[in-house]
Amino acid sequence: MNITIVGTGYVGLGTAIMLAYLGYRVTGLDTDLQKIERLRAGDLPIYEPGLDELLRQAQGNLTWTTSYEESIPKADIIFICVGTPALPSGQPNLTYLESAARSVARNLDGKTQIIVNKSTVPIGTADWMTRILEEHAVHYHTNRYDIVSNPEFLREGTALSDSLYPDRIVLGGRPWAVARLHELYAPLIEQSFTPPPHVPRPSGYTRPAVVNTTLTSAEMIKYAANAFLALKISYANEMAGLCECVGADIEEVTGGIGLDARIGTRFLAAGAGWGGSCFGKDTSALVSTGEEYGYDMPILRAAIDVNRRQRTLVIEKLQRHLRLLKGKRVAVLGMAFKPNTDDLRDAPAHDFIARLASLGASVVAYDPVAMPRARQEWGHLQYSEARSASAALAGADAVIIATEWDEFRLLDWDAAVLTMRTRVVIDARNLLRMPLSVAATVEQIGKDAGPAPTMAQASA
């Protein structure tokens, strides 16, 4: 099969390279010429562990272009993987999706072709896209072109493993189109491919479940899955607040309840709250969809409120110890919304930096991977860059751990804290496991901070 992937962001690139590795001829299409030129040179525009190596292995099956006219007519299956960012109302912005769908429709060539929607979209979008095909496709016929909803469930930082060894593949659409996707995904379903050496097949993994369903149910599955994970995170954070009140330890609590197989430990971690491109957007989209039908969703609204509160809580913890922040130097460790990615979308660190600057603090930030992207996307923020985590802490009055990078876990915290002017550590990711051996104030989420040293002790 010839495959065309429209959109070369995190989802599109991962999908394109994975399918090329499986042996398909894949064309990656994007209107951003600079991005396409980088890809033609073998340079990835995003950071994802192991993706560069898989790109090298699959390079012979990949072509990159900015032309719909070149790539759409020859494709048997066309994946649309463009962004659907949230509008101020909470509803997804479908501008990019509509533009891509129109351009695809105008260049379909009359043979049987399937358009696969991999973008996260509002429920009912597939029907809307079908109308676009009817209006703009030459030689349109109901049995010639069809839409399949095939939502992705990738986690940034582990996208390769999630792509090659998924726990489920969801396919929504008419039976003949879904059957064609079964053919495409046969190597994944049967696990008949040779695993890449750097992404081995997990021990005990057999094959993914395949969910064949309707277009509407497939779209709903994606939103419902992300909303449930968001709920787990907000639940853990709400329990963490009560743990601080009564003197319990949130990690012991979540560890204990997570042993119940009905609950599980994954996504039950207290901290600075969720970020990234999915959870906030998808929970808001579900609430907005409910409003369209006069259906209130109080549980999701509460999850959104709790997540928003966590970012304020971190700054409140800092103010509790430093009092006035004006003139203070605060280090922020981690800028990406999670480790092993350079994705800055809805990152808690963004809100921390913005709030600290508004309170008059001088902010110095460091991230092992995301600083180059932050120079492009966070030009509106006031902060300086540090060359390392240790350099960020030197002379600082306080530090906020905003992303749980392994590099920060391995930092010699006793030595680094000694270089601080006032030793206040706000561990918003509960990353530190052992008490520091030097006098310092360490605040975590959902844990008793214990008696804090005086400012004189902390500076001694």
Q: Please enumerate, by residue number, every residue annotated as part of a binding site for NAD(+).
A: 30, 35, 84, 120, 156, 281, 345
As a dihedral over the C-alpha atoms of residue 316, residue 318, residue 320, residue 323, rounded to 10 degrees, the angle is -110
Cα torsion 348, 351, 356, 357: sign: positive
CA distances to 135, 176, 448 from 112, in Å: 17, 11, 63
User: For residues 12 and 81, is the Cβ–Cβ distance under 8 A?
Assistant: yes
Cα torsion 339, 343, 345, 350: sign: positive
Question: 84-107 in b/e burial notation, b at 16+ Cβ within 10 A?
Answer: bebeeebbbebebbeebbbbbbeb
Q: Which of 368, 341, 364, 343 lies closest to 352, judged by CA?
A: 364
3-state secondary structure 66-103: CCHHHHCCCCCEEEECCCCCECCCCCECCHHHHHHHHH
Look up residue 322 and give its DSSP letter: H
Q: Within 13 Å and on the Cβ side, how many CA atoms surround 186?
A: 7
- Residue numbers belonging to the annotated binding site: 30, 35, 84, 120, 153-156, 222, 267-271, 275, 281, 338, 345
- Does residue 245 carry a catalytic annotation? no
The tokens for 289 are 């969809």
CA distance 386 to 333: 10
CA distance 227 to 126: 20
Matching residue, tokens 């696969």: 116
452 Cβ partners below 8 Å, 6+ apart?
A: 321, 441, 458
Q: Which of 424, 429, 393, 430 lies closest to 411, judged by CA?
A: 393
Catalytic pick among 81, 243, 245, 278: 278
Q: Within 13 Å and on the Cβ side, how many CA atoms surround 50?
A: 18
Task: With residue 161 as reference, give the H or E element that holds it.
Answer: helix 159-164
CA distances to 52, 56, 91 from 42, in Å: 8, 8, 36
Task: Measure CA 319 to chain center.
Answer: 29
| Catalytically active residues, by annotation | 278
